[in-house]
């Protein structure tokens, strides 16, 4: 998906090269997922561990859990921000391709309607991605200090939210690319 969005950005801007190569940017995504997984699974979203013979989490959080989990989450978010910026920066900054002559302010706004559609699709689909860390933070804030029933509701919230984000981002890209073939 990262490579597809970068290709659409390249097309929308008329050939502006991003700061980082699309293959490097795409290779960063598994790292982002890895560090997010460390936060989610190793650090248990920095919540207490269930005590033996109990369904109640008593807030028994240990130092490595907080340090490794917190640092992993931050690293994951930094990688995510880098990828998103690399994808949308040529569009939002109205950068000029090598063959174009910039206007007075040194920018090259996108004027072709098909290229505008590509730029809008890239922007919208990339902004939908921001929902993933928002859901992660929201679900962490919604987690109770203890008690299983509320934790189950938070799990349902996360499942529904991530499902909607997956459908909109991945399905949205697939639909857009399918629709896009009608005018190319």
| CA–CA gap between residue 73 and residue 70 (Å, rounded) | 5
Most distant CA pair in the chain, distance? 71
Neighbouring C-beta atoms of residue 88, cutoff 10 Å: 20
Instruction: Name the phi and psi angles at 57, rounded to 5.
Output: -90, 125
**Banded pLDDT at 66 (limits 50, 70, 90):** confident
Number of domains in the chain: 1
Of 26-35, 37-46, 157-166, 169-178, the one with minimum mean pLDDT is: 37-46
pLDDT digits (tens, 9 = 90+) for 119-174: 999 999 999 999 999 998 888 777 665 555 566 788 888 899 999 999 999 999 99
Could you tell me the residue range of the domain that residue 157 belongs to?
Answer: 2-180
Looking at residue 55, its pLDDT comes to 56
Return the residue matching tokens 């920066």. 89
For residue range 91-100, what is the model confidence (pLDDT) as tens digits? 998 888 887 8
Give pLDDT, residue 180: 86
């Amino acid at each position: 998906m990262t490579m597809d969005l970068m290709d659409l950005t390249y097309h929308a801007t008329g050939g502006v090269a991003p700061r980082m190569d699309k293959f490097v940017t795409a290779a960063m995504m598994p790292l982002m997922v890895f560090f997010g997984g460390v936060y989610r699974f190793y650090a248990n979203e920095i919540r207490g561990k269930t005590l033996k013979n109990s369904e109640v989490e008593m807030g028994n959080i240990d130092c490595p859990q907080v340090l490794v989990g917190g640092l992993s989450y931050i690293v994951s978010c930094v990688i995510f921000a880098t990828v998103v910026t690399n994808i949308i920066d040529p569009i939002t900054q109205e950068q000029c391709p090598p063959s174009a002559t910039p206007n007075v302010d040194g920018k090259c706004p996108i004027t072709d309607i098909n290229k505008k559609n590509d730029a809008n699709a890239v922007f919208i689909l990339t902004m939908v991605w921001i929902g993933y860390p928002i859901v992660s933070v929201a679900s962490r804030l919604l987690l109770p200090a203890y008690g299983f029933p509320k934790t189950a509701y938070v799990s349902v919230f996360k499942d529904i939210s991530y499902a909607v984000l997956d459908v909109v981002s991945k399905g949205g890209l697939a639909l857009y690319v399918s629709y896009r073939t009608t005018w190319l």
